[in-house]
Chain A
Amino acid sequence: MELKTPPSAEKMGARILEALVEFGADPEMMSPEATLEDLEIDSLDMFELAQILHQEYGIEVNPDDFEDVKTLGDAQQVLLGYLK
């Protein structure tokens, strides 16, 4: 994994939320327990999120890592894990 400009976890977490809102998720429903289904975030949205993280931070998202992801908290944990 090549990081263009390694962001802080806070910065990347905020960017993820910003992207999900852009995709149509309701900001008031955002919580770690909210499911991606409740937020109406699907695989195309996750693909675009992966594009954003690659473009802006050089992160390569592996779709296999999302096999057990159900909630926003799960997703953030996986994505922020790429920073380690």
Chain B
Amino acid sequence: MGATIAQSLAADGWRVCVNYGTAAEEAAAVAARIERRGGTALAIGADVADPVAVDAMFERVEDELGPVLVLVNNAGVRRDLPVGFLPPDDWARVLAVNLTGPFHTIRRALGPMIRRRYGRIVNISSISTGRPLPGQSAYSASKAGLDALTRTVAIEVARRGVTVNAIAPGLVDTGFVGEIEEEWKAAMPPRRVAQPEEVAALVRYLTSEDAAYVNGATVNIDGGLTAGLAIFSPRGRPAPVGMAVDSENEEERWS
């Protein structure tokens, strides 16, 4: 999804830094694709959980691309296990990347944005904050924290022309949630999952001049999944809309 967002913003004329944690080749390929299309892009490796690495990344971006006026916090990791099995180090890593990482990048980006009276920050959250699945304690908690960070910073810096919003996607066809099974698609009100381009389009809007008065919002992009009643089986999968949950046959249905 990060690749699609980067390409979309580049198409809008932004000079883009593609940050990566470990996927150096993929990030370089995204940057090369942007350059081939006439844009300007730089792939930089930096662990967002490390404030020194984040500062070094921003220094390089400011030197080579100019001031950072748009920041999209898309880096995310998951460690899905029942909380009783979840190693504390895994919990800490998810929080470090998904929540503390955006804290570091926002903290570094805000000063120059405030001085220029313009900034757009978009944090990629998740619908799992309000509708978690079993096993996602760390992920859901990190994203709920990210929503709170979003709202807090939004009201702190609003009068300097900086907006801070979050996007909460449902299932997106990115590979992040693994192979999306047909039964998952059947549970979505539109009977399909989102395409990365649809999320990128929302990022483009929230980073535009037109979105100057949208601030502190978490915008769901889930096809309406969280608008209605979600029925979850004991194994954590949502029942298709309109299908009654028969507890006696539950194990068989979802096996």
Contacts and interface: CB of A to CB of B under 8 A. Distances in A.
Task: Place the interface of chain A in its size category.
Answer: under 10
Contacts of A47: 110-111, 114
Interface of B: 110-112, 114-115, 156-157, 159-160
B115 A48 contact: yes
Contacts of B112: 51
Contacts of A55: 111, 115
Contacts of B115: 48, 51-52, 55
Interface of A: 44, 47-48, 51-52, 54-55
Contacts, number: 20
Nearest to A54: B111
A55 B115 CA distance: 10
Contacts of B110: 47
A44 B157 contact: yes
Contacts of A51: 111-112, 114-115
A29 to B, nearest CB: 20
A44 B115 CA distance: 11
A33 to B, nearest CB: 27
B111 A44 contact: no
Given A44-B160, A48-B115, A51-B115, 8 more contacts: A44-B159, A47-B110, A48-B114, A48-B160, A51-B111, A51-B114, A52-B115, A55-B115
A54 B114 CA distance: 14
Nearest to B114: A48
A54 B112 CA distance: 11
A71 to B, nearest CB: 23
Contacts of A48: 111, 114-115, 160
A51 B108 CA distance: 11
Nearest to B157: A44
12 contacts: A44-B114, A44-B157, A44-B159, A44-B160, A47-B114, A48-B114, A48-B115, A51-B111, A51-B114, A51-B115, A52-B115, A55-B111
A50 to B, nearest CB: 8
A52 B115 CA distance: 8
Contacts of B157: 44
